[in-house]
Amino acid sequence: MPILEGQGVTKYFGGLAAVLNVDFRVEQGEILGLIGPNGAGKTTLFGLISGAHTPNHGVIRFKGENITGLKPYQICRRGLARTFQSVKIFPNMPLISNVVLGAHFGTPVRVKPAQADEQAARLLEFVGLPEMVSKPAKDLTLVDQKLLEVARALATKPDVLLLDEIMAGLNPTEIAQAMQLVSKIRARGITILMVEHVMKAIMNICDRIIVLHHGEKIAEGTPQEIASSETVIKVYLGE
């Protein structure tokens, strides 16, 4: 049974279909890429999975349970976390507090303050940020803010992590580091679903890829299949 799946997922904003009749499945332990031209509906789909929006039609199942229509905090506590395309850290709080909050509230289990602090410190190390920095998060560089968001999401002990364009705006060195981080996260047993425009990253780390265009799924397969698919090439180069 896939750890995350959706059937017929559809979302309208006004009269426009942002996501139209999308079926998808994510197997446990895999890294699934989600690509498509701008406006294809990728971030909307993320929002539908995370609970930020409710689908007009369709069902989304997580670990076998129907999570359609649940609120984001409920979905998070069941083990699904996400990062945001426009980085949404808590700007006026120190780094450590950003992550501590995830540790406290992200799981159904009660966590003692000392434990939360310790978990947060270890996670900051894991993503490559200096621990215990009491600088307000807004003073960080873009890269570090993205890493912070990942650490915060990991603090909620997810089984599935949604990464929304974490490599956007990074230079090649930083992209390589990010790719390493993604592999490290998968090595911990976390399933990853990532939206990305950086093709090198997608092709190298993803096990499978789904392609969206105008809200619909137009292709699905391994990186090799996708790279050689005529429909995909047309969509990216044709228009």
Partner 1 sequence: MNNLALISKNFLVRGAILLVGLVVLATLPFYSSIFATIFLSTVFMYIVLTLSWAIFSGPTGQISLATAAFFGIGIYISATLGNHLPLLLVVLIGGLASTGMAWLVGSLTLRLKGVYFTIFTFGLLELMKYLLLWFEVSFTGTRGRFVVVVDYNTVYFIMLAIMVLTLLTAYWIRRSKFGMALQAIGQQEEAAEHIGINITLLKVSTFAISAFFIGAAGAIMATRWTYVDPYIAFNMNYSFTPVLMAIFGGLGQLGGPVLGAIIFTYLEQILITKFSYYYMLIFGIVMIISVLYLPNGLAGLTLQWRSRVMRGKYAHS
Site for partner 1 in 196-225 (CB under 8 A): none
Query: Contacting partner 1 (CB under 8 A), which of 12, 27, 85, 93?
Result: 93
The answer to the question of residue 37 lying near partner 1 (CB under 8 A) is no
Q: Which residues contact 3 (CB under 8 A, 6 or more apart)?
A: 26, 27, 28, 62, 63, 159, 160, 191
Query: Contacting partner 1 (CB under 8 A), which of 21, 97, 177, 229?
Result: 97
- With CA atoms as reference, report the closest residue to 99 among 157, 42, 47: 157
Our CB check for partner 1 shows the closer of 119 and 156 to be 156
Q: Phi and psi dihedrals of 31, rounded to 5?
A: -110, 115
What x/- string results for residues 155 through 194 when contact with partner 1 is judged by CB under 8 A? xx--------------------------------------
- With CA atoms as reference, report the closest residue to 124 among 97, 164, 86: 97
The minimum distance between CB 97 and partner 1, in angstroms, equals 6
Query: Contacting partner 1 (CB under 8 A), which of 81, 178, 219, 226?
Result: 81
Cβ-based neighbour number of residue 219 at 10 Å: 18
Do the Cβ atoms of 200 and 175 come closer than 8 Å?
A: yes
Residue 233 and residue 71: Cα distance in Å, rounded?
Answer: 37
Positions in the binding site for partner 1 (CB under 8 A): 50-52, 71-73, 76-77, 81-82, 84, 88-93, 97, 100-102, 104-107, 113, 116, 152-153, 155-156
